[in-house]
Each structure stands twice: as structure tokens, then as C-alpha cells.
Amino acid sequence: MTPPEAGRAARLAAARAAMAAAGVDALVLRPSPDFRFLGGRDGAGFLVVTGDTAAETGDPAALVPAGARRVGVDPEMRVRELFGMTIEAELVPASAVLAPLRLRKEPYEVAAVERAALRAEEVLRQARELAWFGATERAMAGRLRLLALESGCEEVLALRVAAGEHTARPGHLPGGRVINPGDALAVSVCGRWDGYCAEVARVFAVAEPPDDFEAMYTVVVAAHRAGLAAARPPAPARAVARAVTEVIDASGYGRFAAAHAGRGVGLGPEEGPWLGEDAPLAAGMTLCLEPAIYVPDLFGARVADVVACAESGPLALSGGPPPLQVLDR
């Protein structure tokens, strides 16, 4: 989804003002969240923004002004692309200029993030109806990917299927472990729909929950609710993480809590605001709230939902974690 033409002009004007303040003479963006933020079209090569032009080209060096001293390059730029540009200037991350401009979404963007979140949630709702007993994590991840693509997902950015003791591994990749009755199960999907990103994560039990698992899951849900209530402008972003931490610490699981309680989402799956920082929340910010507890070699639970900040308070864009659901097949 590209911004309306009036919005694109306003974004370019804001980008140029930020460039001037940072002493950046040009931006060179490849297809990426920053590229899409300034109205770049997929398949158009690079977008070059200077003080008076914005053009798409296959040869960005030809559009960078002669004598440019500092050029902001896309943080997703490949090494091959960087070396191929032959730009004789200091190269700095374009995110220093554009990240602050992307923090607050326009109403049409918040609506787009909400649609993405609802589609991600629908994928996991459909996943509950699949046959899990005896399947491998890898096989079920493949089925989730198909469900996401069938929902209109343009790009599946991350999938998680973790069973049993694997749920206690934050970076676990789906493998050959067979899913059995009595397993805890962690499932998530992160993707891009109509240009905007969302992630939803849910936790299940297979046939019956392991001992003490439901009690731990209840703590994670309570932490999620506390974090949601704290996402109220103009509170500092850190207040959300603090609310999550206080609930988990009070439960006795504090040493097993995830290091991060969430991050911003929008055109990218991971962007500002960062919930460990002191910057104030503001209306138009969209967050992925993701409290988690990981008990090594036993089990873990992580829930994730998308939240929007509004003047009236936090708005849950996806439904929020339900009571622990037990899969019966």
C-alpha cells in the first residue's frame, strides 16, 4: 500500500527537513519499509531522495548530487548493492533520518495494521482445527505457511511451531520433533498483508496441559493485560515493559521472563517504538505486545498481539490471548 499522493508529498518534505538537520545530502533506498514509506514502487530498483528530487532508478549513483558529503543508505542494503553504487561520500544509515518519521501512523495506516493483525489471528484460529497429533513441528509450520498465503499474506516473515521442551527456546526453529499428547505448543505467525506487518502468537496444550503449565500461562496472560493497560499516551514506552515485568516478577517467574516485552510494528515487522526506551508513547503508534516466560528444558509460553495507541487509550487490534485452549486432535 503506497501513501496517498498528498501524504507522500508531506512525507518527502518531512524527510528533507530531517536530512537537512542531520547533514545528509541524499537518501538511497532499496525496496524495504523505508522505501515503501516514501512511496517507492515494488520492482522499481532504488529510490533516491535529494533536496529537490525523488526518483526511482536502477543506477542510484547517477542521481546522487556531485559533491555530496553524507548519503543515507537503506539499512537493508545488501553488501553487493553497497559496493556496486560507487558513491564517493560518507555512508550513514538512512534510518537515523526516517525512523522517527515512521513512529506515528496515519489513520489509514493504523487501519491497515489492524487488517493485518486480524488476518494473522484468523490464520491461528484456523490452525486450531488442524490435526496436530503425530505431526512434526516442521510439517505444521508448512501448513501454517499455506494458511497465511491463502489469507492474502504477501510475505511470510516468520513462523514458529514449538512443542514440549522446545517452547522454552525463544529462537527455536520448527524441526523434526513429533507433537504428542501432553505437549505444550507455541505457535505464531508474522507476515505482511497489503504492505503492513503484524504478528500474533498463541499457546495451546495438546490433549492435556503439562503439570503447572496452565498456571504459568495464566501469568503470561495477566502480564499481557497489564502491558496493554499501560500503553497509554503519553506514558513512556518503558512503562509498558515495566507493567509486564511487575506481574511476572510477582508470580515468582521473574528470572524466566523474556528480555523484551514488545516492539513497534508497521511497514516493518520490528521498528520503533522500542518498549525498553523512555520515549513517550503517542497516538498513532502501533505495537506488538509479546510477554513471555521460558523455563529451560521444561516449557515456555509467549503471547503476541498488536496494539494501537490512541488519545483515548490503548486499542487492541487483535483479540488478545484467550484462556488456555486444549487441542483434541
- What cell was used for 25? 545530502
Q: What is the predicted pLDDT for the residue at 80? A: 84
Average pLDDT, the chain: 94
Q: Quick one: average pLDDT of 108-119?
A: 97
Question: Torsion over CA of 187, 190, 193 and 198, rounded to 10 degrees?
Answer: 100
Q: What is the predicted pLDDT for the residue at 6? A: 65
Q: What is the predicted pLDDT for the residue at 2? A: 52
Alpha carbon distance, N-terminus to C-terminus of the chain: 39
Query: What confidence tens digit (pLDDT) does each residue in 28-43 have?
Result: 999 999 999 999 876 6
Q: What is the predicted pLDDT for the residue at 81? A: 83
Q: Is residue 157's pLDDT more than 90?
A: yes
Contact 69, 92 (CB under 8 A): no
Rounded CA separation 278/80 (Å):
36
Rounded CA separation 17/24 (Å):
10
Could you give the angle at the alpha carbon of 37 between the alpha carbons of 234 and 104, nearest 5°?
5
Percent of the chain with pLDDT over 90: 88
Q: What is the predicted pLDDT for the residue at 88? A: 86
pLDDT category at 218 given cuts 50, 70, 90 is: very high
Respond yes or no on whether the N-terminal peptide bond of residue 31 is cis (omega within 30° of 0).
no
**pTM for this predicted structure:** 0.92
Rounded CA separation 22/101 (Å):
14
Q: Quick one: average pLDDT of 144-168?
A: 97
